[in-house]
Every structure is written in C-alpha cells, then in structure tokens.
Chain A
C-alpha cells in the first residue's frame, strides 16, 4: 500500500501561471482533503470531499478549485497563481470510524513557490 501519494513534490511557478496538484489514495477511503501549511499558521483546510461526487469549501478556498475525479483521486487547481499561494500543500484521506470519527492520513506534501 502506497497510502496517499502527491505529485509533484516541488514546483516553482510565476505569478499568473496555472497548475494542478494531484493526489491519489489506495486505502479505499471515502473522504479526501486538501490543506495548506504556512509558518505560524498551522494546517488550514482548503477544500474537502466527503465522498465521490461531492466537494465543499474549507477555511481558505479562494483562488483554488478541486475535482474529485473518482474515489481514489482528488486534484487541486490553481488557475492564476499568486505569491500568497506559496505554501506546502498536503492531501489527506480518511474513512469514518467508530462514533463517526475520522483518522486522517496525509500525503508527503507539495512544496509550491510562486514568484
């Protein structure tokens, strides 16, 4: 089991460029998440997908779009990158466990720099 995989690992963009971050999980989880992590800000939820075919905004969705392509894959798109989107992006997945709770498992992250 690879768990949660993300591509690319590193990316440098110029302001205004677009790109898609890819995420896949092989744990048959229903729920998937995209976070960004900035120094001193902790992990902040961008978008999440509770199940295939559904997506919802998190805390910081502006400037991003997502696609839940199938149960395994959840992509994050930056249409017009801005320097404020320089961050480390983590994808996570989870399955509802006891008492309706989730344990989230994280991918290795994508380190994005926007110049």
Chain B
C-alpha cells in the first residue's frame, strides 16, 4: 500500500508569515505530485503540481520536491486569513489501468489575524 504522510495540524501562523507544509511519500517511482486546498465543506481544488526536483513558484505559493528524500513541501508566503483551509498532498501512481492519485490525510492551516 503506497503511503502519503502529512502532519494533520492544525498549523497556526500569523497573518503575513510564511506557512510551510510538508509531505512524505513511500513510492520511490512516483513522478508527479500535487497540492490541493480544501475549504471546510467544499471539494478539493488544485493549487500546485510539481514533477521535477527543485522549486516551482506560482504567486505566493512555492512547491518544493526532493525525490531522493521522498518529500514534497508547499510554502505559502504572506499568509492571509483566506488561506485557512486543509491542504492535501497527492502523489500520482501510473498503473496499467490508468493514473491514480494517493492522497495524504491533509494538514489544517489556520492563519490568525
């Protein structure tokens, strides 16, 4: 069973600070990694994807991937109260029947005024 591990939190940061969310995965052959944001009572929405080692920046979000250490992280700069949500890490698995995602249980982020 392929595993994706996240700290459930809650992770509390003050407004304007950097929030750092981490994720580790067990399958060494995984090639694609995703961060989804889920507000309470809503469906997950994609915020970042990353496929290569290193950093990928999109606005206030930066995804970091280290395949050798099998971890992926998400940094949120200048955190806003609207960033308060659960962040789900997902790892792609390519099978004969198509592509599947394995999700972590999510980290709850709280941005405090």
Contact = CB atoms under 8 A, between A and B. Distances in A.
A56 to B, nearest CB: 4
Counting contact residues on chain B (CB < 8 A from A), the size range is: 20 to 34
Nearest to A43: B103
A85 B105 CA distance: 18
Nearest to B95: A56
B44 A99 contact: no
Nearest to A50: B98
B32 to A, nearest CB: 4
Nearest to A4: B43
Interface stretch (B11-19, B45-53, B59-67, B74-82): B45-53
A100 B44 CA distance: 21
Interface of A: 31, 33, 40-45, 48-51, 54, 56, 58-59, 90, 94, 96, 98-109
Interface of B: 1, 8, 31-32, 34, 42-46, 49, 51, 88, 90, 92, 94-95, 97-106
